[in-house]
Amino acid sequence: MNKINEKNFKSGLATIVARPNVGKSTLLNKILGQKIAIATPLRQTTRKNLKGIYTDSDSQIVLIDTPGVHKPLNELGKYLSNQSKDALVDTDIILFMVDATQPCGLGDKWIWDNYLKDAKAPIILVYNKVDLIKNMEERELNVFSYKKAFERNLDSIKISAKTGRNVDDLIKKIKEFLPYGEKFYDEDMVSDTNMREIASEIIREKIILNTKDEVPHSVAVLIDSYKEEENIDKISAKIIVNNDSQKGILIGKQGAMLKKIGSSARIELETILEKKVFLELFVKVQKNWLKDKNAIKEFGFE
């Protein structure tokens, strides 16, 4: 890493806001150069505000990846909505991320009207997935639809979070809006998330990727115990589902699905920790937990 220039150093918070499945977590991982946020093709993968810390010679950007914004339909939905709103209160800059493969829709307008219209922080409109549009006329029509929908003349940039196209230019643009000040975190930190939380999220990612629409987002992962030893970490986790049929899908025939989920999660954890991991998974049914305020709190969504 280049030597920090303390005299002209900038630091601040940049909050990423978007509809579900627009690419917020993919962008965060791309900027940091490593995976700290789970990213899947399914909606509403992110459930908690997650901080990613990008530090170079003249700045530190604390990027906040928020849950995808949508009208809440249950207690978990209300929690996700509040997570996104809370992140906007003290942020220095807002990255309003949209899907450039589609024209501006009702979801984007709802975010603008309910979250961003009266925001005090500057907003950069980030057009993502431009690599997926081959027809330039179609792309520009989509871009124009967003510009027309919002009352303010916003700074904007076209990127691909997946390929990294123009992501360096986005970082430069973010820096323009940051205040001068000391860094919040040590320069070698990339996240303030602990290993219990990381383990929980990795297990949940493997559930989503392996079960797809069968066990969508009515699943929570609780780490019952996490024991660190010199040569191995021992983790016991409980997977909470909404009904008995989902439990059956997760376990699979003769436990095959649960073994597959556990194996892929263990391999990724061993790569991160650079040592052996013993991972034990259990499945528990707690009916209608998505609508239960007490369960939402118990599972860490506060």
pLDDT tens-digit series, residues 31-81: 998 877 765 554 455 556 678 899 999 999 999 888 766 555 555 556 566
Q: Please tell me whether residues 212 and 101 are part of one structural domain.
A: no
User: Which residues form the domain of 290?
Assistant: 195-298
Q: What is the DSSP string of 138-194?
A: HHHHHHHHHHHHSSS--EEEE-BTTTTBTHHHHHHHHHHHPPB---SS-TT-SB---
Please say if the pLDDT value at position 295 is more than 80: no
Is residue 38, in this structure, part of any structural domain at all? yes
Average pLDDT value over all residues in the chain:
85
In terms of pLDDT, which residue wins out, 204 or 299? 204
Residue 119 and residue 164 in one domain: yes
pLDDT tens digits, 251-274: 999 999 999 999 999 999 998 888
Q: Which residues contact 44 (CB under 8 A, 6 or more apart)?
A: 20, 21, 67, 68, 70, 80, 217
The pLDDT confidence band at residue 87, using thresholds 50, 70 and 90, is low
In a domain, residue 79? The reply is yes
The answer on 161 and 38 residing in a single domain is yes
> How many Cβ atoms sit within 10 Å of the Cβ of residue 91?
20
183-205 exposure pattern, b = at least 16 Cβ within 10 A, e = fewer: bbeeeeebbebeeeebbbbbbbb
Instruction: Please say which residue of 177, 208, 235 terminates a domain.
Output: 177
Query: Which burial class, exposed, middle or buried, applies to 293 when counting CB atoms under 10 A from its CB (0-12, 13-18, 19+)?
Result: exposed
User: Token digits for 277?
Assistant: 């991991």
| Whether the Cβ atoms of residue 31 and residue 51 lie closer than 8 Å to each other | no
Clarify whether residues 124 and 246 are in a common domain: no
Whether residues 24 and 173 fall in one domain: yes
Distance (Å, rounded) from C-alpha 222 to C-alpha 197? Answer: 9
Are 59 and 89 within one domain? yes
Query: Do 26 and 168 lie in a common domain?
Result: yes
Q: What is the CATH number of the domain that holds 72?
A: 3.40.50.300
Task: Give yes or no: residues 17 and 164 share one domain.
Answer: yes
In a domain, 130, yes or no: yes
- Residue 166, domain member (yes or no): yes
How, if at all, do strands 50-55 and 59-65 pair?
antiparallel
Q: Same domain, yes or no, for 137 and 262?
A: no
**Orientation angle between helical segments 244-251 and 256-273, nearest 10 degrees:** 70
Candidate ranges 55-69, 181-195, 271-285; pick with highest mean pLDDT: 271-285
Residues 147 and 221 in one domain: no
For residue 28, the one-letter residue type is: L
Whether the pLDDT of residue 163 is over 60: the answer is yes
Q: Which residue has the tokens 């996490």?
A: 226
- In the prediction, which pLDDT does 35 show? 78
- What CATH number is associated with residue 285? 3.30.300.20
State which of 146, 177, 208 marks the end of a domain. Answer: 177
User: Nearest CA to 203 among 187, 188, 215?
Assistant: 215
Question: What are the start-end ranges of the H helices in the chain?
Answer: 24-32, 75-87, 106-111, 136-149, 167-177, 195-211, 244-251, 256-273, 293-298
Whether pTM > 0.85 for this model: the answer is no
- Residue 209 sits in the same domain as residue 256: yes
Q: Tell me whether residue 1 is in a domain.
A: no
Residues of 219-231 as b/e, b for ≥16 C-beta within 10 angstroms? bbbbbeeeeeeee
Q: Residue 290 pLDDT more than 90?
A: no
Task: With H, G, I as helix, E, B as strand and everything else as coil, classify residue 89.
Answer: coil
Claim to verify: residue 232 and residue 172 sit in the same structural domain:
no
Residue 96 CB coordination number (10 Å)? 24
263: CB partners within 8 A, 6+ apart: none
Is 183 part of a structural domain of the chain?
no
Domain-located, residue 134: yes
Q: Model confidence at 27, in pLDDT bands (50, 70, 90)?
A: very high
Percent with pLDDT over 90 in the chain: 49
Distance (Å) of CA 8 to CA 176, 185, 280: 12, 17, 49
The answer to the question of residue 248 being in a domain is yes
Distance, in Å, from the CA atom of 15 to the CA atom of 122, rounded to the nearest integer, reads 11
CB 239 within 8 A of CB 281: yes
Question: Is the CB of residue 108 less than 8 Å from the CB of residue 150?
Answer: no
Domains: count for the chain: 2
Among 118, 151, 177, the domain-final residue is 177
